Amino acid sequence: MNYDISSILKNWDYDPSNINARWVMGQDGRMKVQLRLDLGLFQMEAEGRPDGTRPRGYVSLLHYYRAITKTAGGGQALKLGGEACAELQQESLQYYYRYLAFYALHNFPGVVSDTDHNLAVIDLVTEYAEDEDHAWQFVQFFPYVRMMNARARAEQALAEKNHEEAIRALQKALDDINRFWGEYGESDNASGSEVELLSDLLRQVMKQKPKTRADRLQEQLNTAISREDYERAAVLRDQMRKLGLMPPPE
């Protein structure tokens, strides 16, 4: 058997300016996702753990440790030392590579699922790591993972023409990331790349959002007031009250 993958790489050039990913059919009849790197490629399972293994008989290490915390006294007894954290870090890295590939392939549900996994690992280690240094190796990546999660949720909502859901996802992520920096005493980072990216995307979505009748009436009311056309403003207020968009006059 020839194990040389040169022919595969030769027909798939590496582009350092983009994430290079594609779907392939595996010999087992299941779809796999491949990520092209400068020195080769990763091939990952599309479901479950990216490497296809079942650590300790569970879907992932996260599932294994979650099962422990649900047993009687398991949560009190669980302590994640250096070796356990290293294993979880390796697992998180696998999910990171896969959600990068999923994002490039516009598989936004896959991105949401994999970033949810890594966010849950961060929560797990934050609560059960034996020391803060081990925990910080995970916690420091929260803003990035949370940002990718929100981007995917927003993209998925926009594909379904649900602008309100996209706006909620982005605003919630911005609140979470700003709260993170406030908690960890890094307020200067509140204008970092994750916040800037999500803020820009939020502005774009709000501009794209179709205007409702309430939006149009409010704009007309604001224009009438700015022009001191109070008769027109009174008419508009009556219309908005009839539609339940404004409380009745006191």
Residues 161 and 198 in one domain: yes
Q: Is residue 192 part of a domain?
A: yes
Q: How far is the C-alpha of 118 from the C-alpha of 170, rounded, in Å?
A: 18
Residue 144 CA, distance from chain mean position: 8
Structural domain includes residue 185:
yes
Domain total of the chain: 2
Q: In the structure encoding, which two tokens stand for residue 83, read together?
A: 């070796």
Q: For the chain of 250 residues, list the mean pLDDT of each consecutive stretch of 10.
A: 87 94 95 96 97 97 95 84 97 98 98 98 96 95 97 96 94 95 68 88 89 73 83 81 71
Report CA-CA distances (Å) from 85 to 58, 68, 81.
17, 15, 6
Give the global pTM. Answer: 0.83
Distance (Å, rounded) from C-alpha 175 to C-alpha 186?
Answer: 15
Is 149 part of a structural domain of the chain? yes
Both 175 and 223 in one domain: the answer is no
- Same-domain check for residues 195 and 221: no
Domain hosting residue 187, numbered range: 143-210
The alpha carbon torsion through 206, 209, 210, 213 (nearest 10 deg) reads -50
Where residue 200 falls (left for φ over 0; alpha for ψ -120 to 50; beta otherwise) is alpha
Residue 50 included in any domain? no
Q: Are residues 200 and 159 in the same domain?
A: yes
What per-residue confidence (pLDDT) applies to 131?
A: 92
Q: Give the angle subtended at the CA of 203 by the CAs of 198 and 205, to the nearest 5°.
A: 90
Find out whether 60 and 117 touch, Cβ atoms under 8 Å. Answer: yes
Specify whether 205 is located in the same domain as 158.
Answer: yes
Statement to judge: residues 168 and 202 lie in one domain: yes
Q: So what's the pLDDT on residue 124?
A: 97
- pLDDT of the residue at 139: 96
Report the sign of the C-alpha dihedral through residues 229, 231, 234, 235, in that order.
Answer: negative
Identify the pLDDT of residue 191. 52
- Residue 181 CA to residue 193 CA, distance in Å, equals 13
Residue 205 lies in a domain: yes
Q: Are residues 230 and 187 in the same domain?
A: no
Q: Are 44 and 31 in contact (CB under 8 A)?
A: no
Residues 172 and 222 in one domain: no
